[in-house]
Structure 1
Amino acid sequence: MRNDDVPGSRQPIKSVGFLLVPGFALLTYASAIEPLRAANQLSGKTLYRWWNATPGDKPATASNGVAVLPNYKFGSDARDLDVMLVCAGGNPATFRDQRTFAWLRKLAARGVIVGGISGGPVILARAGLLDGRRCTVHWEHAPALQEAFPRVKLTQTLFVIDGDRITCSGGVGGLDMMVALIARDHGYPLAAAVSEWFLHTHVREGARPQRMDLRARLGVRDEALLKALKIMEAHIESPLSRERLAKLAGVSLRQLERLFRRELGQGVHARYLALRLDRARQLLRETSHSILEVGMATGFASSSQFCRAFGRSFGITPNAARRRDLELATRRLD
């Protein structure tokens, strides 16, 4: 990371706030906050201070049930904050607290560097703080974020620094991002020591991908099969015919079908349909798009066609699935 990537980069970040949204992932939070503690301990100096805030000043319960108590006043002027990082998980699209959005906009207007981790960028986008900005988000939330906020310049990377906006995909990626910030503020030797402290022997750059490649993720090696799967993932809204897929993969349709059944246990059509319906389930959960819009975004010609395919796969209608997911998310927020 260059020193000019973030405003005021030649000055250390002294105060970092964490806004914990109920349902946040504890690992994501720990990966971001623990490097600050390690930097202080290894340097023998107080280089960083950190605070926890929660909507409404209530304890925030992580996705695993652990509750974190706030020690910073929600909605305050935050005159002592340099950075505010929003930690969110679960289904951040259901979080609609206007007080939180207003506070984040207020902090950004005051020059505080505002960021989001895991599902946190979804909340920043809802607050209008990512329009025209490069950002990243956990891969699970990426399709819905792009559909709901087309002005956001979404990447599929570990973390992104765009001026006074910081976004991170979450998980252990928070450690990589904070190590990069420590290197910027206090030099590479301290950052390397922090990384080694956590047995993190290979620090990843922000531009690295979030997910394993298909070869590792699915345990397949055949190049034609891998190529066909990549093409499928890139053509969800406008699905290609099986014949076109085979041609692009460089094999006959008969060969392609044989590869899919042997390596994945299902035919080309079934695999493609499953990918599209999984994407549809994400869009139903994390956007307010109509059933027809979700169906069109995943390659179905009509809402009835989409509903029939969805029902056969999941045993529930799209509307019922959306209601159930919303109820579960609301219970977690409560």
Structure 2
Amino acid sequence: MEYLFLKRKKASFVSQRQKDLLFDAAEKQWRKEFVAGGIETRKVDLDIYKSLLYFLEIKQVFLDPKLSLKKLSMMIETNQTYLSNVINRYFGCCLKKLVNSYRIEYAKELLRAGNCPLKELPQRSGFTSKSTFYAAFGRQSGYTPKRYMTYKWKNEM
């Protein structure tokens, strides 16, 4: 799934319009990818899916280094089992991998903006450990952050 709002600047105020736009886009994606694909879905799964995207995309809860399944399920107001099932089934991974993918995309945004020193990048991206950050960044992008900053994204322009 594409990141719908990740590339916009984080605002201190989240409007109802942003939430509605995200929910509409998520529902369209849901119908296109899952319903049209013949995957059996439930309304409760769609509600959790949209709420999860809201908290990741707009609220950017992935920046919390202590984010857990329990904490996120409390935010979404569902139980951990339902949330875990939605993540596994519709995102094809576990919560840790999903959250880390958001963190890495956010780190890439910081690198492209050029206003974050490399030594601050892991912490500002929501990682508690520098080694975990570098391993996740390498797995997802195929580059070290320094190499990405000096080579990869400049060639994408």
Q: Which residue of structure 1 lines up, in the alignment, with residue 91 of structure 2?
A: 264
Are the equivalent residues in 1 in contact too, given 2:122–2:128 (CA < 8 A)? yes
| Alignment equivalent of 1:212, drawn from 18, 21, 24 | 21
Query: Higher relative contact order at CA 8 Å, sep ≥6: structure 1 or structure 2?
Result: 2
Q: Which residue of structure 1 lines up, in the alignment, with residue 71 of structure 2?
A: 244
Instruction: Point out the structure with the larger strand share.
Output: 1
Tell me how far apart the structure 2 counterparts of residues 261 and 294 of structure 1 sit (CA, whole Å). Answer: 28
| Alignment equivalent of 2:107, drawn from 280, 300, 311 | 280
> Structure 1 vs Structure 2: percent identity of aligned residues?
22
The alpha carbon displacement at 1:241 in A equals 0.8
Any idea what SS the aligned residue of 2:62 has?
Answer: coil
Tell me how far apart the structure 1 counterparts of residues 73 and 9 of structure 2 sit (CA, whole Å). Answer: 28
Tell me how far apart the structure 2 counterparts of residues 304 and 266 of structure 1 sit (CA, whole Å). Answer: 21
Equivalent residues in 2 for 1:52-71, closer than 5 Å: none
Distance 1:265 1:300, change over 3 A: same
Distance 1:249 1:317, change over 3 A: same
| Alignment equivalent of 1:322, drawn from 125, 137, 149 | 149
Q: Which residue of structure 2 lines up, in the alignment, with residue 140 of structure 1?
A: 7
The alpha carbon displacement at 1:322 in A equals 0.3
Taking structure 2 as the reference length, the TM-score comes to 0.68
The alpha carbon displacement at 1:249 in A equals 2.0
Q: Is 1:297 aligned to 2:124, yes or no?
A: yes
Tell me how far apart the structure 1 counterparts of residues 99 and 138 of structure 2 sit (CA, whole Å). Answer: 16
The alpha carbon displacement at 1:254 in A equals 1.8
* Structure 2 unmatched ranges of 5 or more: 31-42
Tell me how far apart the structure 2 counterparts of residues 213 and 256 of structure 1 sit (CA, whole Å). Answer: 19
Equivalent residues in 2 for 1:226-245, closer than 5 Å: 226-233=50-57, 234=59, 235-239=61-65, 240-245=67-72
Are the equivalent residues in 1 in contact too, given 2:110–2:116 (CA < 8 A)? yes
Q: Which residue of structure 1 lines up, in the alignment, with residue 37 of structure 2?
A: none
Any idea what SS the aligned residue of 2:126 has?
Answer: coil
The alpha carbon displacement at 1:325 in A equals 4.1
Instruction: Point out the structure with the larger helix share.
Output: 2
Greater C-alpha Rg: 1
* Structure 1 unmatched ranges of 5 or more: 1-137, 144-152, 158-206
